[in-house]
Amino acid sequence: MNALRPDALWSHVHALGMLAAQGSYTAAARRLGISKAAMSQRIAELERAAGVPLVRRTTRSLRLTEAGQQLVDATTDAFGHIERSFAGVRDLGGAPRGLLRLTAPVALGRQQIVPHLAGFLREHPEVRIELDLSDRLVSLAQEGVDLAIRHTANPPDTHVAWTLCETRSVVVASRAYLRRHGTPEHPSELAEHACLHYPRPGETAVWTFERGRERVAVPLRGPFAANNSEVLREAVQEGLGLALLPDFSAQSALRGGKLIAVLPQWEASGGFASHIYAMRPYSQVVPRAVQALVAHLREALRGGFAP
């Protein structure tokens, strides 16, 4: 069998880099839009051409050999540059087009991002969106994400970040709970209430409030905690207690009268971040589809989440 010419192996080298980033043949093949068998064949052909093993396989794991890692390290930046350059040239063609991989936190995505995507897709029929709703902080570059929606106060310096809107935290309760237990008039009174909270690793269960120069920290006690604001909202509507929620999760229930804002004159701090951002790793060229979606979401969320 004749050996493949070096210039016929560039796609194989790219496949090796994708395999290193994804960690499995199945995931890498999916990203490249080929079959797992075709993926395996490319790596086998590349190893034959190189004359050394590039991938170590066991029944449980996959890792690159020293030679494989050296090849990936030496070519990753070049393939990234090619991808960015091609995206820039393709975008010269006019209307936004192509696949846009988007990620967002579960609650924020379900409640405030997904409702605005239909209008965007109708406006830009040549764009397709692949949405990943996940609360884990994925590596955008490694997982091929074009745009991430993040609820944060400090976007990383290595990323381009567009502010979509401001957000704040609100204490809410059901009417039934307040009838049974009374309405707190001062944050210190929350110590006597069932407070449902969002647990974070390594953090003490405390809510902090500010009004002018006064600052009050309240240790929490309550029968329930959950790391999802939608779940907390449902628990509050069932009368289990009060909860500190981001305004985007509380908005519809407050508007519909299902929940009541408690201590609205106080500013709750430290519970959730202050802004919603769209972000992506820094690059010289931003695809038109990304620019168009950012502009669409900035307009849609311009007013924030006031009830």
The mean pLDDT values, 10 residues at a time, for the chain of 307 residues are 64 88 87 89 89 83 88 83 67 76 93 96 95 77 82 84 94 97 96 93 89 93 93 97 95 95 91 90 83 96 88
Give CATH 3.40.190.10 domain extents, the chain.
Answer: 98-164+276-300
Non-local (6+) Cβ contacts of 221 within 8 A are 191, 194, 195
Question: How many CA atoms lie less than 13 Å away from 97 in the CB half-sphere?
Answer: 10
The DSSP output letter for 34 is S
For the entire predicted model, the pTM comes to 0.69
Phi, psi of 284 (to 5 degrees): -70, -30
Residue 157's CB is within 10 A of a number of other CB atoms, namely: 7
Give the per-residue pLDDT at 87: 64
Residue pair 206/220 in contact (Cβ under 8 Å)? The answer is: yes
Non-local (6+) Cβ contacts of 224 within 8 A are 196, 232, 235, 240, 241
Give CATH 3.40.190.290 domain extents, the chain.
Answer: 169-269
Q: Tokens representing 61?
A: 């794991």
Question: How far is the C-alpha of 265 from the C-alpha of 270, rounded, in Å?
Answer: 16
Question: How far is the C-alpha of 62 from the C-alpha of 55, rounded, in Å?
Answer: 7
Non-local (6+) Cβ contacts of 270 within 8 A are 206, 207, 208
The residue whose two tokens read 């039934």 is: 176
Question: How far is the C-alpha of 200 from the C-alpha of 101, rounded, in Å?
Answer: 28
Tell the burial category of 275 from Cβ atoms under 10 Å away from its Cβ (0-12, 13-18, 19+): middle
Give the per-residue pLDDT at 1: 42
Tell the burial category of 93 from Cβ atoms under 10 Å away from its Cβ (0-12, 13-18, 19+): exposed
- Determine if residue 291 is left, alpha or beta; phi over 0 gives left, psi from -120 to 50 gives alpha, anything else beta: alpha
Give the per-residue pLDDT at 91: 59
Specify the fold of 98-164+276-300. D-Maltodextrin-Binding Protein; domain 2 (3.40.190)
The DSSP output letter for 152 is E
Question: How far is the C-alpha of 95 from the C-alpha of 191, rounded, in Å?
Answer: 56
Which of 49, 19, 20, 23 is closest to 34 using CA atoms? 19
Residue pair 307/255 in contact (Cβ under 8 Å)? The answer is: yes
User: 6-90 domain in CATH 1.10.10.10?
Assistant: yes
Q: Which CATH class is domain 169-269?
A: alpha beta
The residue whose two tokens read 């909202």 is: 233
Question: How far is the C-alpha of 251 from the C-alpha of 268, rounded, in Å?
Answer: 16
Where helices occur in 64-198 by DSSP H, the ranges are 66-91, 106-108, 117-123, 175-181
